Amino acid sequence: MPRFDGRGSAQLRPTKITRGFMPNAEGSCLIEMGNTKVICTASVEDKLPPFRKLEGELGWVTAEYGMLPRSTNVRTPREGRNGPSGRTVEIQRLIGRSLRAVVEMPVLEERTILIDCDVLQADGGTRCAAITGSFVALAEACRKLVDEGAITRMPLTGMVAAVSVGVVGSDELLDLCYEEDHRCAVDMNVVMTDKGRYVEIQGTAEMTPFDRNRLLRLLDLAQVGLEQLFKMQRAALEGIL
Amino acid sequence: MPRFDGRGSAQLRPTKITRGFMPNAEGSCLIEMGNTKVICTASVEDKLPPFRKLEGELGWVTAEYGMLPRSTNVRTPREGRNGPSGRTVEIQRLIGRSLRAVVEMPVLEERTILIDCDVLQADGGTRCAAITGSFVALAEACRKLVDEGAITRMPLTGMVAAVSVGVVGSDELLDLCYEEDHRCAVDMNVVMTDKGRYVEIQGTAEMTPFDRNRLLRLLDLAQVGLEQLFKMQRAALEGIL
Amino acid sequence: MPRFDGRGSAQLRPTKITRGFMPNAEGSCLIEMGNTKVICTASVEDKLPPFRKLEGELGWVTAEYGMLPRSTNVRTPREGRNGPSGRTVEIQRLIGRSLRAVVEMPVLEERTILIDCDVLQADGGTRCAAITGSFVALAEACRKLVDEGAITRMPLTGMVAAVSVGVVGSDELLDLCYEEDHRCAVDMNVVMTDKGRYVEIQGTAEMTPFDRNRLLRLLDLAQVGLEQLFKMQRAALEGIL
Amino acid sequence: MPRFDGRGSAQLRPTKITRGFMPNAEGSCLIEMGNTKVICTASVEDKLPPFRKLEGELGWVTAEYGMLPRSTNVRTPREGRNGPSGRTVEIQRLIGRSLRAVVEMPVLEERTILIDCDVLQADGGTRCAAITGSFVALAEACRKLVDEGAITRMPLTGMVAAVSVGVVGSDELLDLCYEEDHRCAVDMNVVMTDKGRYVEIQGTAEMTPFDRNRLLRLLDLAQVGLEQLFKMQRAALEGIL
Amino acid sequence: MPRFDGRGSAQLRPTKITRGFMPNAEGSCLIEMGNTKVICTASVEDKLPPFRKLEGELGWVTAEYGMLPRSTNVRTPREGRNGPSGRTVEIQRLIGRSLRAVVEMPVLEERTILIDCDVLQADGGTRCAAITGSFVALAEACRKLVDEGAITRMPLTGMVAAVSVGVVGSDELLDLCYEEDHRCAVDMNVVMTDKGRYVEIQGTAEMTPFDRNRLLRLLDLAQVGLEQLFKMQRAALEGIL
Amino acid sequence: MPRFDGRGSAQLRPTKITRGFMPNAEGSCLIEMGNTKVICTASVEDKLPPFRKLEGELGWVTAEYGMLPRSTNVRTPREGRNGPSGRTVEIQRLIGRSLRAVVEMPVLEERTILIDCDVLQADGGTRCAAITGSFVALAEACRKLVDEGAITRMPLTGMVAAVSVGVVGSDELLDLCYEEDHRCAVDMNVVMTDKGRYVEIQGTAEMTPFDRNRLLRLLDLAQVGLEQLFKMQRAALEGIL
C-alpha cells in the first residue's frame, strides 16, 4: 500500500538541520523532518541539580519539551497550572536519558546542560526529531565550552539519534507521520548511537501484540533511517565534533 | 547621544512581517523588529467563554503570551505550576483589549478568536510587536471565516498597532531595544488605531515622574513609528483587508 | 446629564482618611471614597526580596491587594488555589510601582515595606483609593522607623495619589463609581505626585478609541481631584510628614 | 493570679455586636470581644453543593474563615496557592457544623447560606467569636428571605454561641485572650445552644492531660460566658428572631 | 436494640495489633478493629521542622494519614493536586497532638518522628485506630533509638489510646462501625492516657445537641474500651516499653 | 558471579499471588515477588473518561500507582500538591497500556475499570509486579461483571504479565531486585501475552548501550520468567478465567 505522502516504506521524510537557529543559546538548531519542526537549544548552567550533588557526581544533562499551541492542527492548550502532562514528562525523560548515554558527565564539572525542545510544527515523530536535533545543540554548546577553556575536552563519547518505526496495516514503515502514527498497530522508537548500539528501545503494541520476527525487522528498518540521520548531524556539526 | 544600535531617536528598528508563518493556524505571522521576533497565531474556536455567554453577548477575542526559554540571553524558565507570572498576565490582557477595540464582536457570532503570541527572540518591545503582529494574524483568520461563509463580513472596524517610546537619559526615543528599555526613566506603550485614536496609553515613570510636555512629545514620537507600522501591516495583508 | 449619584462631573465622592485604623500594623488607614472603602496597612520586614539582593540594591516597597468576599454586591469568591487573578496581579503591581516612585529606597536599608490593601466595600475606583490610602500607611510606617532610630531620615521624596477619570456617554467625569465605570467608553487612572508630575497614566478605550484633545481634558480633570486628595493626605499625616 | 488584662477568671472581655456592618451582604455583623474583631457575613446562593444534591437533601449552610494580613501583630501571609492551612480548614468546618446544628435545613429549599468570617484583629478566641457573630449574620439573612417570601418561615431551631475556656497555670479562665491561649495547659472550645445543650466540645490538653473534675468545672465556666453571649445576640437581633 | 454486628453496646470490635508489619520502618504495626485496618509506621528523621528550630525547642512528633483507594466500599480518589482534604488535615493534626501529649520531646534531640497511618480497610473509627496503633509504632521506634544509643532514655511519659463513642437512636454505643457512625446523633472521640486523663475530647452533635448527663455516660463508656486497648498495646509492646 | 540473594541468573524471586486481598474491591490481589509487595485492586465505574466518549468508543481500562511512605528503606514522601512524579506517571501509563492490550474494550460497554497498584514494600520490579498482579485483579472484576449479568462475556483476549531483565556487570539477570536494578548497565521491562507476543518492550541503557545479540538474549531470559508468572496467574484465577 502506498504511504500517505507517497514515500517508500523505508524512506525518511525530507530532513534538514539548521544549526545556530537561536542565537541567544549556547547551542541550537532547527530540525525539520517533513512537516515536523522542532527548535532545540542547549543552555549551560553553572550548577548541578541537588540530587546530583548529593550523589557526589559531576556534570548533568537534562531536557524539557514543549509544543507551541498551534504546532498542531487543532490548538493544544499551553501546559501550566497542572504541570506537564504525562506525555510531556515521558518525552522529556526520554530525551535526557538518550543524550546522557553519550556524555562523559564528569568532563562537564559543576555544570548542567539543559536542553529545550520546542515544537513549532507537529506531524508525528516529534520526540525522535527532538533527540536527533538536541544532539546537535548539545555538541555545539560543548564545543563552545571547550573553546572558552571552561572544560578540558569534548565530553561526547559518540553521537545519538532516534527514529520511529511502526506497523500500519501489515506494512512495516520508517519515520511515521501523524496520520500513520495515529493508525499504527505497533509503534516503536529506537534511539541508537553511531556505533550501532541501542540506547533505548520503546516498542508498544497499540492494538496488536507483535512477535520477535517483527521486532527484528522493525529494528533493521530503524537502522536504515538512523544511518542517514547520523550523516546529517555530522554535516551540521562540521568543525564542531 | 547616539543610540545603542546607531539608530536615530525617531527611527524604528528594521521591521518585517511574514504572514502565514504557522500553516496549521487559521491566521499567523512572524513579526521581526530588530532582534525581537514574535510568532502570532489566531485560532478560531466555535464557543464563547462562560462569562461572555452569561452577558448574552456574541463574539470574543482573547490572547495568550509566552516566551521560548532561550528567547532571552539568560534562559527564562517555562511558566508552569505557579501559573503565568504577573508580567505575562499584564501583557496578555493588554493584547486582548487592544485587539477587541477594533473588532465588532457580534459579527463573530458564537466564536472566540484566541491569539497566541510566542516570543522566539526578545530584545525589548515584545508586547508592542505582539499587538502589531496579532492584528495581522487576526485579520487573516477573519478573512478565512468570511471566505468559508462562516461569518457574513469582516468584523474589523480599523487597524491597530503598538509601539514603545521612552526617555533614556534626557533623550526621547522611539521603539526601545532591551538595553534602552532597561535604563529608561520613562517607559510608554502606545496602542493606536489607523485613524490616529488611542486604544491604550500606558506610561510609567520607572524612576523620574514626568510632566505634560514630555507626555505630548512622547505621543508625537509614537505616532511617527505607528504610521510606518500600519503601512507594513497593510502590505502584509494585501488582498485580505 | 446628571451623574448617577447627583455629583457634578468634576466632583470627588465624599472622601475620608482615618489613620491608625489597624493598630497592629506599623502604618495603616481606612480610606473611604463614597461607598468604596479600603483598609491599607504597611508592614515593615527586616529583609529584602531575593531579586533585590541579587541586584545589590537596598530597600523595597511592594503591595498586595484583596477583596473581602462581600465587599461586592454579589459575593466574590476568595482567591486561592489558582493564585491571584489577572486583575489582582495588575492592581498590586500598579500600587507597588506608584509608591516606589516617591521612595528613596536605599534609606530603608535591609528592609521591605509590604503594603496590604483590603477592600471592605467596592464601588469603583478601588485601585486608586488603595494608592492614595497606601501612601498614608507608608508614611506612618516610615515615621515610626525614623522615631525608633531604625533609619536616619524619612525616605519619601514627595506624595503620591491616584484618581480615575473617564468618559460616560459624552461626559468626561471625575472619580467614577461602579455604575459609571461599568458603562464608560474610556477609563483612565492617573497617578501623580504632589509636584504635578505623572507617575503612571493608564488610559484604556473600553469601547471608543479617544483622541488627543480628550486625553488632555481628562488629565486636567484628574488634576482637580488629585489636588483635593493631596490635601486630605496632608491632613491625615499631620505631624508625620 | 490576676489575669493579663485585669479581668476576673469568669469574666468575658468587653463584647459588642454591630449588626448590618457590611451593607452588601444579606446578613452581617461586626463582633468585637476585647481586641478580637471579626466581620461575619451571610450570603444567600440559589444553589446547593453537589454532594447535597446527590443526597437528595434541601438547604445547606457552610462557612469560610480568613484573616486580614495585619489582624496579627506580626503579618500573617495571605493563604493562597497552597490552599487554606490546616488551622483554617478546621475552623471553617467547626463554624459550619455549629450553625447547621440550629438550622432546619429543608426550610431553605434549593439554597445555600455561605458564611464568611474575616478577622480584622486577632487576640485569641477568633473561632468562638466567629461562631457567635455568624449566628447573628445567619439570622439576619434568614429573616430577609422570610420577608421576601422566598422561604415560608424562619429555619432556626434555636440560637448558638461559642466561648473558649482554659487552664493557665492552675487557674481556670473564661474567654482566653491570645497571651493566655498561648500559655494554657488545657484549651477548650464549647459551642452550645440557648437551651444549654452542647453542639460541640473540643477540649485539648496542650501540655497536661486533664481529669474529669477539671472538665466539669471548665464546662460550668463556659456556661457563664455563653449565657451573656446569648443576651447580646438577642439584643442585636431584636425584631429579627 | 441489637447492634449492627451483634455486639453489646459496651463491646469493642475484635481487635488485633501486629507489631513490625512494615519491616523497612523504624517502628510499625497493623491494627485491626473489626473491618477497620490501619498500617502505622514511625520514621525517624534527623532534623526538626523549621518552626521548631525557630522556637529553639528539641524533638518533634507529627503524623500523616492516608487511605488506599479501595479501603472504602466505593473507591475514594487519591488526594493530590488540591492537597489533603479538610477531613484528612483534621485527622493528621489530631494524631500528632495525641502522641505529643505523652512524649517528652527534648529527649529526642534534633529528631522528628514522623508517623504514617495508611488505612487498608475503613469501617468506622479509623482515626481512633490510627492513634492507638501509632503509639505502638512510636514506642518501637523510640526503643530502637535507645538501643542504638542515639537517645539516652525512652521519651514516653505514658501510653495513649483512642476510641469512639456515640449515640445511635437512643443507645449509647462503644466503638462505632461505619454503619453506626453514619446514623449517629452524637459522635465523640476520646483520647486518653493510661493514667485515665484526657488528652483530647471531641464531641459533636451531628443532629441532636446533647446534655451534660449524656456527656458523662459517654465518657464512662469510652473508658471501658480504652482500658482494653491499653492492655493490647502493652501486650504488643512486651519488652519494648 | 553469584547474585545478591543467592539466586541463579535465570531464577525468579519467590513469588505469591493472593487473590481477594482487598474485600471492598470488585477485584484484587496481593502480589509478592521476594520483598516486593504490591496490592492491586480493580474498581468498576459506570462511566467513561470524557476523551473516550468524544471518540465514540465504549469501555476503558486505566491505572494508578502509589507507594506507601515506608515501602522504601528511607521514607518516600507522599505525592501531592505537585501531582504525581515523572516516574509515577510513566508507570501508571505503562500499566494501563499493558492491560488494555488484552481487553476487548467494547464488551465493557459504558464502564471504566480503574486499577490501583499500591506498593506495600519496594525491592525492585514494582512496575512489573504491578502489571502481573493487576491482570489478576482485572480478571476477577470482569468475572464479577459477567456473573452479575452486567456484561455478556469475559472481555479478555489473553493474559498479560511483565518481568524485568537486565545486565549487571557482565551478567544477564532475570527479575532484578533493588540492589541489582541500582547497579545495572542495561534495564529492560518486557510485557508479554501468554501467546508469547510482546505488548511492550522498554529497554534502557543506563550506562552502556547494548547490541542486538544482548537484546535477544535478554528477551529469551524474560520469557523464562514470564512463563512461570502465567502459571501463577492461572492458579490464582482458577474458576475465574
Q: What secondary structure does DSSP assign to D124-154, as a single string? A: S-HHHHHHHHHHHHHHHHHHHHHHTTSSSS-
Digit-coded pLDDT (tens) for B31-68: 999 999 999 999 999 999 988 988 889 999 999 999 99
Q: Within 10 Å of residue A239's Cβ, how many Cβ atoms?
A: 5
* Between residues F206 and A224, the one the model is more confident about: A224
- Indicate yes or no: CB of A75 within 8 angstroms of CB of B114: yes
Mean of pLDDT over chain A: 94
Separation of alpha carbons E45 and E99, rounded Å: 17
pLDDT attached to residue F106: 96
Task: State the average pLDDT over residues F203-219.
Answer: 92
Query: Is D1's pLDDT higher than 70?
Result: no
* Dihedral sign computed on CA atoms, order A97, A99, A101, A104: negative
Measured between CB atoms, does D66 come within 8 Å of chain C? yes
Residue D123 DSSP code: S
The pLDDT value given to residue D81? 61
Residues of A in contact with F201 (CB under 8 A): 201-203, 215
- With touching defined as 3 or more inter-chain CB pairs under 8 Å, the answer for chains D and E is yes
Strand, helix or coil at A14? coil
**What's the first-to-final CA gap in chain D, in angstroms?**
41
> Is residue F76 a known part of a binding site?
no
Residue A207: is its pLDDT beyond 80?
A: no
Distance of CA A96 to the CA centre of its chain: 9
| pLDDT of the residue at E147 | 97
Q: Which three cell numbers stand for residue C34?
A: 463614597
Instruction: Answer yes or no: are the C-beta atoms of A110 and A47 closer than 8 Å.
Output: yes
Confidence of residue E208 (pLDDT cuts 50, 70, 90): confident
Q: Just give the CATH number of D15-237.
A: 3.30.230.70
* pLDDT for residue E110: 96
pLDDT at E232: 98
Whether E70 and F22 lie within 8 Å, measured CB to CB: yes
pLDDT digit string, tens, across residues E23-37: 999 999 999 999 999
Contacts of D82 in chain E (CB under 8 A): 83
Secondary structure of C59-117 in HEC code, one letter for each residue: CEEEEEEEECHHHCCCCCCCCECCECCHHHHHHHHHHHHHHHCCECHHHHCCCEEEEEE
Spatial separation of the C-alpha atoms in residues B30 and B39, rounded to whole Å:
5
Closest CA to C125 of C212, C209, C241, C7: C7
Nearest by CB: F25 against E66, E70, E84: E70
Contact predicate A39/A117, CB 8 Å: yes
pLDDT value, residue E1: 64
Residues 164-223 of F with CB under 8 A from A: 192-193, 195-205, 207, 209-212, 215, 219
What pLDDT score was predicted for residue F81? 61
Asked if the C-beta of A72 comes within 8 angstroms of chain B's C-beta atoms, the answer is yes
Whether D3 has a binding-site annotation, put simply, is no
| Predicted structure pTM score | 0.88
Report ipTM for this prediction.
0.92
User: Given E78, E81, E114, which is nearest F81 (Cβ)?
Assistant: E81
Q: Averaged over E209-232, what is the pLDDT?
A: 97
Give, for A191, the enclosing helix (H) or strand (E).
strand A186-193
Listing DSSP states for E167-214 in one string gives EETTEEEES--HHHHHH-SEEEEEEEETTS-EEEEEEEESSS-B-HHH
Check CB contact under 8 Å for F28 and E70: yes
Question: Residue F67 gets which letter from DSSP?
Answer: E
Q: Kindly list the averaged pLDDT for each block of 10 residues, start to end, along chain C of length 241.
A: 85 97 97 97 95 91 96 90 80 95 96 97 97 98 97 97 95 95 92 96 90 96 98 96 88
Query: Residue A83 annotated as binding?
Result: no
Chains that touch C (3 or more CB pairs under 8 A): B, D
Does B125 score more than 70 pLDDT? yes
Angle between the N-to-C axes of helices A212-236 and A126-147, in degrees from 0 to 180, rounded to the nearest 10: 40
Amino acid D83: pLDDT? 74
Q: First and final CA of chain F: distance in angstroms?
A: 41
What CA–CA distance (Å, rounded) separates D182 from D122?
A: 13
What is the side-by-side strand order in the sheet with F112-121? F15-19, F27-33, F36-45, F112-121, F60-67
- Alpha helices, H only, A101-165: 126-147
Chains B and E touch (3+ CB pairs under 8 A): no
* Chain E residues whose beta carbon lies within 8 Å of the beta carbon of residue F120: 22
Q: What type of residue sits at position C164?
A: S
Q: What is the DSSP letter of A207?
A: S
- Residue B82 in contact with partner chain C when CB distance is under 8 A: yes
Interface of B with A in 43-62 (CB under 8 A): 43, 45
Cell of C69: 468576599
Q: What is the mean pLDDT of residues F152-171?
A: 96
pLDDT in tens, F92-104: 999 999 999 999 9
- Residue-wise burial string across D100-122, b where 16 or more C-beta atoms lie within 10 A, e elsewhere: bbbbebebbeebbbbbbbbbbbb
With an 8 Å Cβ cutoff, is C11 touching chain D?
Answer: no
- Tell me the percentage of chain E whose pLDDT exceeds 90: 85
Report the percentage of chain A scoring pLDDT > 90: 85
Of D70, D79, D83, the CB nearest to C24: D70
State yes or no: pLDDT of F191 exceeds 70: yes
Lowest mean pLDDT among A2-11, C224-233, F109-118, F227-236: A2-11
What nine digits make up the cell of C140?
506612618
- Tell me what percent of the residues of chain F surpass a pLDDT of 90: 86
DSSP 3-state of B117: strand
Per the model's pLDDT, the better-predicted residue between E87 and C141 turns out to be: C141
Residue C123 one-letter amino acid: D
Of F24, F79, F121, the CB nearest to E70: F24
Task: Report chain E residues whose CB lies below 8 A from the CB of D209.
Answer: 101, 192-193, 195, 197-199
DSSP code at position C48: -
Confidence of residue F14 (pLDDT cuts 50, 70, 90): very high
Helix H or strand E segment including F142:
helix F126-147
Q: Which of B22, B72, B78 sits opposite A24 (nearest CB)?
A: B72
Measured CA to CA, the distance from residue A13 to residue B176 in angstroms comes to: 42
Are C and D close enough to touch, i.e. 3+ CB pairs under 8 angstroms? yes
Q: Select from B146, B158, B63 the least CA-distant residue to B104.
A: B158
Of all residues in chain F, the percent with pLDDT exceeding 70 is: 99
Cell numbers describing residue B15: 521591521
Write the pLDDT tens digit of every residue in D152-211. 999 999 999 999 999 999 899 999 999 999 889 999 999 999 999 999 999 999 778 999
Query: Could you tell me which chain B residue has the CA closest to the CA of A42?
Result: B70
Please report, as a single letter, which amino acid is at residue D38: V
Per-residue confidence (pLDDT) for residue B40, from 0 to 100: 98
At E81 the pLDDT is 61
pLDDT tens per residue across span D13-54: 999 999 999 999 999 999 999 999 999 999 999 999 988 988
Question: Quick check: C86 and B82 CB within 8 A?
Answer: no
Burial group, residue F200, by CB count within 10 angstroms (0-12, 13-18, 19+): buried
Which residues touch F6 (CB under 8 Å, ≥6 apart)? none
Which tens digit of pLDDT belongs to each residue from D66-122? 999 999 999 999 987 667 888 898 899 999 999 999 999 999 999 999 999 999 999
pLDDT confidence of residue E82: 66
The neighbours of chain B, by the rule of 3 or more Cβ pairs under 8 Å, are: A, C
Q: What Å distances lie between residue F116 and F107, F137, F162, F230, CA to CA?
A: 21, 9, 17, 21
pLDDT at residue F82, as a whole number: 66
β C60-67/C112-121 pair status: parallel
